[in-house]
């Protein structure tokens, strides 16, 4: 149990049957009346952000989030199959649970499967991936005072904006959180 007066950024708590992560909190002591805690909470399952206020003495149950390394095996229609690298157990997740998380992930790469009380709610790809370009237009020299970019399709099918000097067959380092090109490998 954690009281609202002890909130810290990043803590996950269970409020009214939902699992929330605390993004921001602020202890407020007005001139008149009782103190309160103003928070910005992110619903772990739906991804929605809400703002709520609590009395500092209110208590909430800690929510333990399990993050397990699993290997992404393959996609079969609407199902994505993963394998536990320690026990070799396999699970299949629906596309609405996975979402866009595997946009930059190739088969056989390690991802983190996030669950609460055995219910899987999200897949976290590695922070950075290295992917080869399968299709891009040739870059032309010219009026490029500003950093000119062009679209490039990588081997997973995702499209990334890259500088003009990047060519087909180049291997790129990509940030999976933003989908931005970082460098050539």
Tens digit of pLDDT for each residue in 49-104? 899 999 988 999 888 888 889 999 988 888 889 998 888 888 888 887 787 888 88
Contact 86, 70 (CB under 8 A): no
Contact 50, 41 (CB under 8 A): yes
Q: Which domains does the chain have, with CATH numbers?
A: 2-62 (2.30.30.30), 66-124 (2.40.50.140), 128-184 (2.40.50.140)
Q: Percent of the chain, pLDDT > 90?
A: 9
Q: What is the pTM of this model?
A: 0.71
- DSSP result, 56-124: TT-EEEE-PPEEEEEEEEEEETTEEEEEETTT--EEEEEHHHHTTTTTT--TT-EEEEEEETTEEEEEE
Taking phi first (over 0 means left), then psi (-120 to 50 degrees means alpha), and beta for anything else, what does residue 176 get?
A: alpha
What pLDDT is stored for residue 63 in this prediction? 85
Q: Percent of the chain, pLDDT > 70?
A: 96
Q: Across residues 143-170, what is the average pLDDT? A: 82
Dist CA 32 CA 114 (whole Å): 43
Contacts of 175 (CB under 8 A, 6+ apart): 127, 128, 182
Maximum CA pair distance of the chain? Answer: 67
């Amino acid at each position: 149990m954690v009281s609202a007066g002890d909130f810290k950024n990043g803590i996950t708590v269970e409020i009214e049957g939902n699992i929330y992560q605390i993004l921001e909190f602020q202890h407020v002591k007005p001139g008149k009346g009782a103190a309160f805690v103003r928070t910005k909470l992110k619903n772990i399952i739906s991804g929605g952000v809400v703002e709520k206020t609590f009395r500092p003495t209110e208590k909430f149950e800690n929510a333990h989030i399990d993050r397990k390394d699993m290997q992404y095996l393959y996609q079969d229609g609407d199902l994505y199959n993963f394998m536990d690298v320690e026990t070799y157990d396999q699970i299949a997740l629906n596309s609405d649970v996975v979402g866009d998380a595997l946009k930059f992930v190739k088969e056989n790469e390690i991802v983190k499967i996030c669950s609460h009380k055995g219910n899987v709610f999200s897949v976290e790809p590695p922070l950075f991936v290295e992917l080869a370009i399968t299709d891009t237009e040739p870059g032309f020299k010219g009026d490029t005072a500003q950093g000119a970019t062009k679209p490039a399709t990588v081997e997973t099918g995702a499209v990334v904006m890259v500088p003009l000097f990047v060519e087909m067959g180049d291997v790129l380092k990509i940030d999976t959180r933003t989908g931005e090109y970082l460098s050539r490998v």
